[in-house]
A and B are shown apart, each in its own frame.
Chain A
Amino acid sequence: MSSNNQTSSSAGPATLFDKIWDAHVVSSVENGPTQLYIDRHFCHEVTSPQAFNGLRARGLKVFRPDKTTMTADHNTPTIDQDQPVKDPISRNQLDTFARNASEFNMPLFYPLGHEKNGVVHIIGPENGFTQPGMTIVCGDSHTSTHGAFGAIAFGIGTSEVEMVLATQCILQTRPKTMRITFNGKLGKGVTAKDLALYMISKLTTGGATGYFVEYAGEAIRNMSMEERMTVCNLSIEMGARGGMIAPDETTFAYVNGREFAPKGEEWEQKLAYWKILKTDEGAKFDKELVFDAADIQPMITYGTNPGMGMGITESIPTLDQIDEAGRISFEKSLNYMGFQAGEKLEGKQIDFVFLGSCTNGRIEDFRIFANYVKGKKKADNVTAWLVPGSWKVEQQIREEGLLDILTEAGFKMRQPGCSACLAMNDDKVPAGKYAVSTSNRNFEGRQGPGARTILASPLVAAAAAITGRITDPRA
């Protein structure tokens, strides 16, 4: 795709976003959206059946079957995956997924139990499907994860899934651009997840709506690919269309050698192109924000959206700190959580810990968790669900000896899937119980009807699993 670099329509300095967007424009609708070509489409069982039905109703084939990667993850059990799925409605959805893959001759289909099966945003990067400079979509809002590689990646609805299957294109209005720079270094015990929760707490859940965000600055540059994926993953939680990070040596080293990554001469050509994928000096963003990484401490959420976050040592805001139009929602939220305005949460007893999801279900997350619990014991009052993001992550956990450490500390590992992040399967937190969760959403009922979610990093989750309370992992 080395010719892509010639298609930029705007003269003068361009942003990373502009360069990739302009290289994928097929046509523009007058006074309307852009027809954008999609390089990689990821597909899962929950948001795709109606799209395949749509193709059938119109008598259409899938236009480019090799550009769609299919994995079952949302509505799958995390135990006994070798057995038939017990819930008949879930089983029907998984069977429908398999039937669609077969009927439409989809070559990249990874059902339950397949060695490449796992959470869609984990298996994409780990198999080399996700590459710099690409446009990537999936019927899932956390598709923003793939932006960590310097790609334009965003979530779409099922009608749009149908468009991509039918034409490998989508109609999109060009979003505004925002750059968020994190200067300096993160402190000890402060992780990529904390950086993201801090940012969302400053911007609120709608603060980046209408924008595509580029993350920059020393704290971002210093991050591994896993950490960058965590940050980009959470872009949607402040409403952003997506988030991205310019590719660099860290990115190239991660992609190189993966199964679906380019090889040989093609690799050299792509690499030359990927190296120009950065925002030019003097390029204009519609909005710029700058934070100091040193201001961030381990974060937790106290409410029912990801913007309701605070430093672990801080107190929930008081009612007079909330603007008047938002007070009904604020009180409703605290009432649901069983918390008081102005209250501190450190030391509060919790019931469940969930390590996993497309936000924090990668090998580094398990390393952090295992490193903290090594030589300690899980608190008796805590039920812990440790769910690797894919079979590859699961295998690595075993190979690195992390499973032995976890087992010694009283933990068990489950099988891959989205699990308690959205609780479509049996991994549901009971009503009224508190879960410290490494996932991405603390919405009412997200982890089960009545469940109370406190979002946090894998490190904070590990500390909570050991003490049975909300605990500052730096202490």
Chain B
Amino acid sequence: MEKFLTLTSTIVPLPIENVDTDQIIPARFLKATDKNGFGDNLFADWRYNKDGSPKADFVLNNSLYSGSILVAGKNFGSGSSREHAAWAIAGYGFKVVVSSFFADIFQNNALNNGVLPVVVSAEFLSEVFSAVNADSKVTLTVDLLNQTVTNNASGKSENFEINAYKKECLLNGLDDIDYLLSKRDMIEAYEQKIK
């Protein structure tokens, strides 16, 4: 996994609440047997017309907005456990998703793929949406070590929460399997105990 330290980027705003994983990546794209190419179908039904042409009114097709930070309405990633949603977001090039609330499984899946979910207050989120409305080139800075996110339009900063273990994993580019494999003897001891 790639290391994550700090990131300053323009943002892609998606002020919709309850964006579920079926919108992030519709089920018909889950037939692949590898992790590649999902970025092309990120938000497919909002992004493309039936004939495959881009829908002009969707934010990913609006050249005003770009960057590696997606900012979305509350309860992002609800629904299905499909990790394909995290692969689609990472595959498109997003490294951070900012929202006021995330669904549990999506949050885990994102972290396991080096995408950082940043939970901000409803007020901070609303100010970011207003700022990007006024100026599409507004940037956010996300600093993982200090656990801060800054709206560079206003200079306003907020702390965000992240599990200390997951933070270490991201800072060092390690994943859970490395950790679990190192605990093999404890697993076998547990199995003996419950026999």
Contacts and interface: CB of A to CB of B under 8 A. Distances in A.
Interface of A: 1, 3-4, 26-27, 29-33, 35, 37, 46-47, 49-50, 53-54, 58, 60, 63, 74-75, 87, 89-90, 92-93, 96, 139-141, 143, 155-160, 162-163, 166-171, 173, 175, 205-206, 209-210, 236, 239, 241, 305, 307, 325-326, 328-329, 332, 422-424, 441, 443-446, 449
B41 interface: no
Given A32-B164, A169-B187, A239-B103, A206 B26 contact: no
Given A27-B186, A162-B177, A47 B81 contact: yes
Contact of B22 (A89, A328, A444): A444
Interface in B17-45: 17-18, 20, 22-23, 26-28, 30-35, 45
Contacts of B23: 443-445
A75 B74 contact: no
Contact of B180 (A90, A163, A423, A449): A163
B33 A325 contact: no
Contact of B190 (A26, A90, A143, A239): A26
Nearest to B22: A443
Contact of B179 (A29, A155, A424): A29
Contacts of A449: 26, 45, 50
B83 A158 contact: yes
A20 B87 CA distance: 32
B74 A32 contact: no
B17 A329 contact: yes
28 contacts: A3-B193, A4-B194, A26-B183, A29-B179, A31-B165, A32-B166, A35-B183, A46-B31, A74-B27, A93-B32, A93-B33, A156-B105, A157-B109, A158-B83, A159-B175, A160-B112, A162-B177, A163-B176, A167-B180, A168-B187, A205-B18, A305-B20, A325-B122, A422-B22, A422-B80, A424-B27, A424-B31, A443-B79
A48 to B, nearest CB: 9
Given A157-B112, A305-B20, A424 B28 contact: yes
Nearest to B50: A449
Contacts of B34: 49-50, 53
B181 interface: yes
Nearest to A51: B83
A241 B104 contact: yes
A156 B177 contact: no
B83 A159 contact: yes
Contacts of A50: 33-35, 83
A167 B183 contact: yes
Contact of B15 (A75, A173, A328, A423): A328
Interface in B59-100: 73-75, 78-84, 86
Contacts of B82: 46-47, 157
Contacts of A75: 30-31
Contact of A58 (B27, B84, B113, B177): B177
Ranked nearest first, the 4 interchain pairs of A and B with the lowest CB-CB distance are A32-B165, A157-B83, A49-B33, A155-B81
B4 interface: no
Most buried by B among A175, A307, A325, A444: A325
Contacts, number: 191
B87 to A, nearest CB: 8
Contacts of B84: 158
Nearest to B126: A325
Contacts of A325: 17, 73-74, 122, 126
A423 B22 CA distance: 11
Contacts of B17: 325-326, 328-329
Most buried by A among B23, B26, B33, B177: B33
A445 B45 contact: yes
A140 B187 contact: no
Contacts of A92: 31, 33
A328 B126 CA distance: 13
B164 to A, nearest CB: 4
B9 interface: no
Contacts of B193: 3
Contacts of A158: 83-84, 109
Contacts of A49: 32-34
A73 B78 CA distance: 22
A328 to B, nearest CB: 7
A446 B27 CA distance: 7
B194 A140 contact: no
Contacts of A159: 83, 109, 112-113, 175-177
Given A205-B18, A209-B103, A239-B78, 5 more contacts: A37-B191, A162-B177, A325-B126, A328-B16, A422-B80
B78 A206 contact: yes
B159 interface: no
A166 B109 CA distance: 18
